[in-house]
Amino acid sequence: MPSRYGYQPCREFNVVVLGAGGVGKSCLTAQFVHNEWIESYDPTIEDSYRTQISVDGRQVMLEILDTAGTEQFVAMRDLYMKTGQGFLLVFSINSGPSLDELKTLREEIIRIKDDENIPIVIVGNKADLEDSRTVDRAKAFAFSQRWRAPYYEASARTRTNVDEVFVDLCRQMLRRDDMNDTRDDEYYQKPEDPSSSKRRRRKKRKDREHRCTIL
């Protein structure tokens, strides 16, 4: 394996950005990829972006799919969910229904991926609009805890926590990849030492500890 010799190949991941219409999925993506703020609202049908970033010294190529939040364009959702390896679930802190919609989306992802531990980050966007907040931070955090996913409050407008949400998702995907590699290596190399598997389980639990990151 190349990593044993100190060479880390560039990992490629498919990221899917999901959430209700108008919550700021495209703005978050445009800020992350192009450092640009879009004031106007032009509902997305489907856009994809490729960008390479460095996460903890490792090169990661991301294929980011910015999806449609509005009903008439959601027919492709099953397909996005099948190909996605990490999901940003975005709601807006001034729209309660947009948080409710994440419940359905998360359930769909888990059903389609058949995996409870799929990398997910919950994003409460438009945090600059504190005056019109209708979603209690504690409520959103409680959801994210139940879903065992980190919660960030972000603002595409002020570019707050934009890089952080993508980087967190990358870390989760890298960790998963590394675990799969270790599992493959162990399968080919040696019978499992029960104490190391206990250590790994403990580390895995620690890795998934709940976090809430605000402004």
Ligand X SMILES: Nc1nc2c(ncn2[C@@H]2O[C@H](COP(=O)(O)OP(=O)(O)OP(=O)(O)O)[C@@H](O)[C@H]2O)c(=O)[nH]1
Q: Which tokens sit at 160?
A: 């707050």
Pick 9 or 43: Cβ nearer Mg ion: 43
Q: Which tokens sit at 148?
A: 């065992």
Using the rule CB under 5 A, is 26 a contact of Mg ion?
A: yes
CA gap 140, 30 in Å, rounded: 24
CA gap 57, 11 in Å, rounded: 12
Q: Which of 12, 14, 44, 108 binds ligand X (CB under 6 A)?
A: 44
Say which entry of ligand X, Mg ion, none residue 70 contacts (CB below 5 to 8 A, set by partner kind): ligand X
Q: Which of 11, 38, 44, 49 binds Mg ion (CB under 5 A)?
A: 44
Q: Which of 85, 144, 155, 172 binds ligand X (CB under 6 A)?
A: 155
Minimal distance, residue 38 CB to ligand X, in Å:
6
Pick 145 or 158: Cβ nearer ligand X: 158
Contacts with Mg ion by CB under 5 A lie at 25-26, 44
Contacts with ligand X by CB under 6 A lie at 19, 21-27, 38-41, 43-44, 68-70, 125-126, 128-129, 155-157
